[in-house]
Amino acid sequence: MDREKLDIINELNRAIIKFRGMYSQWSNIHGISYHEMLVYYTIREYGFCTQKLICDSYLLPKQTINNVFVVLRKEGILSQDTNRGEQRKDICLDRKRREKIFAIYEQTRQIRDFGF
């Protein structure tokens, strides 16, 4: 691999690490874990989420996301979406929580803008 390509890859890796760090700090400020933030982020992007979708998207172990789901279900934050009529276990937020989470999440635009 030539030096120019390697420099581009290294720069991209540094940017990814920087963004992950900013999202982690943002999560801590809002009293949620980084992995919990990924669940909310996925729901915001797709309107629902599954453990498989999150694990595949972020290359995380199934047990890590399962632990997050267990806690969020116990707290009544997540529930199974039975309206989709499919076999997979789609997870969603109720309307009130969705509005609250998405309002907070709009602040992440500041993170993205700051990063660029």
The domain in which residue 19 lies consists of 3-115
pLDDT in tens, 18-33: 988 988 888 898 888 9
Q: Where residue 102 sits, what CATH number does that domain have?
A: 1.10.10.10
Mean pLDDT of 90-97: 66
Between 80 and 25, the higher pLDDT residue: 25
Q: How many domains does the chain have?
A: 1
Q: pTM to 2 decimals?
A: 0.72
Coil/strand/helix, residue 79: strand
Average pLDDT of the chain, as a whole number: 80
Tracing tokens 């595949």 back to the chain, one arrives at 56
What average pLDDT does this structure show over 104-113? 64
The confidence band for 77, taking pLDDT boundaries of 50, 70 and 90, is: confident
pLDDT of residue 107 exceeding 80? no
